[in-house]
Structure 1
């Protein structure tokens, strides 16, 4: 009996494909900014303190979160104008809304624990923002914005 072994190169996994739109603007910019904001969020979350609210760098970070919310909404409208990928169009709008909520929650935090909770949620949302843009659509994707946000939400 002869044991056949496949060459190592045949066993190597191929890198996951990346959605082509992730290379276009504004999507590439959103991915880049989301990654940078996630790193900053994770750094602030190591020692969250309400004293951060008076820190100029933290205030700039919060403003950048608000800006990213606006960029996601613009990307939503770009997808709508293209008439393509209803799923991504809807998710970008949802991320925009959620980023605005996190922005407001950062400013409204009353305890270190609230700030930590918001930074943790923000970090996860920023990861999601990257993933939804970089991951190619599948046959199963296809959210309907009208169902998600109502007739005015498309």
Structure 2
């Protein structure tokens, strides 16, 4: 009988939706802008990947996209340097540097695509990197992995 009462209580108790935890850093204007712009670029990238055409690579819209990717790369490096100066958030500091280095590489792969399939693959890779860029800023770290940027990237 006790079990039935417990089951009745569980079934009639309203379930509180869990509020996702957000990294407070992501609310700072500089980092919020990176998240916003990475989201916008990801959406553009996904749209291009849906019907990849090599002609897009010579369009004015793609040239603008490439400039925005380059700017986002620079801002990720600036975020790395900001966190380094603060002496905080080792993992995010290293990941932002990695993203800043990977964005131009992914862009070069898009620009080097010779077939629609290769273009689609390169665009999907870029979309995944942009999603990672958002996630690492928004999601609070659950543990410090001990990433060492000097070992990973040298003293720069």
Higher helix share: 2
Determine the structure 1 residue equivalent to 2:27.
23
Provide structure 2 residue ranges, at least 5 long, that are not aligned to the other structure.
none
**TM-score (structure 2 length as normaliser):** 0.90
Provide structure 1 residue ranges, at least 5 long, that are not aligned to the other structure.
none
Determine the structure 2 residue equivalent to 1:107.
111
* Number of aligned residue pairs: 151
The whole-number CA distance in structure 2 between the counterparts of 1:66 and 1:26 is: 16
The whole-number CA distance in structure 1 between the counterparts of 2:113 and 2:77 is: 25
Instruction: Note closer, same or farther for the CA distance 1:44–1:13 as it changes in structure 2 (3 Å cut).
Output: same
Q: Deviations over 1:71-116 (max 9, x none)?
A: 1011110111111011000000000101011122222222222211
RMSD: 1.4
The whole-number CA distance in structure 1 between the counterparts of 2:84 and 2:98 is: 14
- After superposition, residues 90-105 of structure 1 pair within 5 angstroms as 90-105=94-109
Which of 88, 94, 100 aligns to 2:92? It is 88
**TM-score (structure 1 length as normaliser):** 0.91
Larger Rg: 2
